[in-house]
Amino acid sequence: MERYWNKEIECMSREDMKKLQDERLVAQVKHVYANVPYYKKLMDEKGVTPDDIRSTADLHKLPFLTKADLREAYPYGLLAKPLSECVRIQSTSGTTGKRVVAFYTQHDIDLWEDCCARAITAAGGTKDDVCQVCYGYGLFTGGPGLNGGSHKVGCLTLPMSSGNTERQIQFMIDLQSTILCCTPSYAAYIGETLHEMGYTTDDIKLKAGIFGAEPWTEEMRREIEKSLGIKAYDIYGLTETSGPGVSFECSEQTGMHINEDHFIAEIIDPDTGEVLPEGSKGELVFTSITKEAFPLLRYRTRDICVLTREKCSCGRTLVKMSKPLGRSDDMLIIRGVNVFPSQIETVLIEQGYAPNYQIEVDRVNNSDTLDINVEMSDDKFSDMVKDIQQKERELAAAIKTMLGISPKVHLVPPKTIARSEGKAVRVIDKRKLQG
């Protein structure tokens, strides 16, 4: 039986949801125009006033905000409430450059935690569950967000933070955790360590995992589900819009429902900024219509995905986003070909390798090189050089079929690629390091 945290909202008719969004958007634009000089200037430059925004149909008239704006306005330039009304600051993990900070009033914290409670409930969580949160705590939004959501649901919450993996497993066994929240790469690492410590899935009580904060493939989902004996659910969010919980997966596991009562989603062409019709692949843009302190309008996430309103078997009517293929700025252009690390991950897991790999891109004699270090699992480990070369050739051929360009594959001994306790670093682009 499907469980909802807020059935009225999660299963609301499109008509009612649109009405709610219309009202909230109109009020939010007024609030931002009156309180954020930085955004007022952008609107003035575009010749738009709050009176021009009468419903969501007018959304496209508003200017975009980008990460560059956030950096320019750092730290207080986009704040829409007096600091005395703010109760929290969080910050991005800085994956792609200088960190940005986001501010929250108590109202903003409540709505964020509420979104996380929806995600936990959709994954089957109730007050009878023990929820082990191993996202990082601190400025990073992962730990605090899921921690708050878990409290709301009434789960017994284990605020573990990331790291100290053997202790994570000991607690998981001793305290009979039923739900695990962390990055997918850390979940894979926890699974690996569990088996190394001589345990099996029979020794743990986990039933579900809520994994996000970085891209992961369907192949990786199956691996994690097998190694931990659970159902693995995706969760998405970004600091700029509050944190995890902007969207979450339901029992159907075919994309994440966006909490549309708080966030309006659009898909745009990243080159022209034009809004694309439903079903098109493009850059995801969010407008937060309920946040008070840091209410970004038309924020360009740089995440590439597809939105769909097809009926979902879970009964929710909230629009669904596909797993982001990766960020537009994660995309590598190698010898003119667009490559997402997730495509390489798909091939590796299909070929029976664990998701322990690192991609190195360089430029030698004016030509791009692509080297992929892939760890052998214990059962594949072979010290027969001939064998290794054969396996490297097979893997390179499979990757060439996927990408259209030939990589150099290097099989490396087990446990030589660093494991991730947070967001995994998959790519070293030496071309960028050289400037």
Q: Which residue ranges make up the site for ligand ADP (CB under 6 A)?
A: 92-96, 212-215, 234-239, 301, 303, 323-324, 327
Question: Is 296 a binder of Zn ion (CB under 5 A)?
Answer: no
Q: Which residues pair with 87 in a beta bridge?
A: none
Name 193's Cβ contacts closer than 8 Å, sequence gap at least 6.
165, 166, 169
Nearer to ligand ADP, 59 or 304 (CB): 304
Which helix (H) or strand (E) is 407 found in, with range? none
DSSP for 320-347, written as a single string: EEPPP-EETTT-EEETTEEE-HHHHHHH
Q: Which of 134, 136, 149 is nearest to 93 (CA)?
A: 136
How many residues of this chain bind Zn ion (CB under 5 A)? Answer: 5
- Of 57-65, 242-250, 264-272, 412-420, the window that binds Zn ion (rule: CB under 5 A) is 242-250
Among ligand ADP, Zn ion, none, partner that 327 touches (CB below 5 to 8 angstroms by kind): ligand ADP
Q: Which of 372, 356, 369, 349 is nearest to 420 (CA)?
A: 356
Among ligand ADP, Zn ion, none, partner that 301 touches (CB below 5 to 8 angstroms by kind): ligand ADP
Among ligand ADP, Zn ion, none, partner that 93 touches (CB below 5 to 8 angstroms by kind): ligand ADP
Q: How far is the CB of 183 from ligand ADP (least distance, A)?
A: 9
Q: How far is the CB of 162 from ligand ADP (least distance, A)?
A: 13
Among ligand ADP, Zn ion, none, partner that 316 touches (CB below 5 to 8 angstroms by kind): Zn ion
C-alpha pair distances (Å), 180 with each of 169, 173, 366: 11, 12, 46
Tell me the backbone φ, ψ of residue 29, rounded to 5 degrees: -65, -40
Nearer to Zn ion, 22 or 261 (CB): 261
Nearer to ligand ADP, 93 or 308 (CB): 93
Question: Is 316 a binder of Zn ion (CB under 5 A)?
Answer: yes
Q: How far is the CB of 103 from ligand ADP (least distance, A)?
A: 14
**Are the CB atoms for 263 and 321 separated by under 8 Å?**
no
Question: Is 155 a binder of Zn ion (CB under 5 A)?
Answer: no
Question: Is 318 a binder of Zn ion (CB under 5 A)?
Answer: no
**Are the CB atoms for 26 and 34 separated by under 8 Å?**
no
Nearer to Zn ion, 258 or 376 (CB): 258
**Are the CB atoms for 152 and 193 separated by under 8 Å?**
no
Q: 25, 179, 210, 312: which one contacts Zn ion (CB under 5 A)?
A: 312
Question: Is 160 a binder of Zn ion (CB under 5 A)?
Answer: no
Encode 173-185 in three state secondary structure.
HHCCCCEEEECHH
Give the Cα separation of 63 and 77 in Å (integer): 16
Among Zn ion, ligand ADP, none, partner that 92 touches (CB below 5 to 8 angstroms by kind): ligand ADP
Which helix (H) or strand (E) is 190 found in, with range? helix 184-196
Among ligand ADP, Zn ion, none, partner that 214 touches (CB below 5 to 8 angstroms by kind): ligand ADP
Q: Report the interface residues with Zn ion, using CB under 5 A.
A: 250, 252, 312, 314, 316
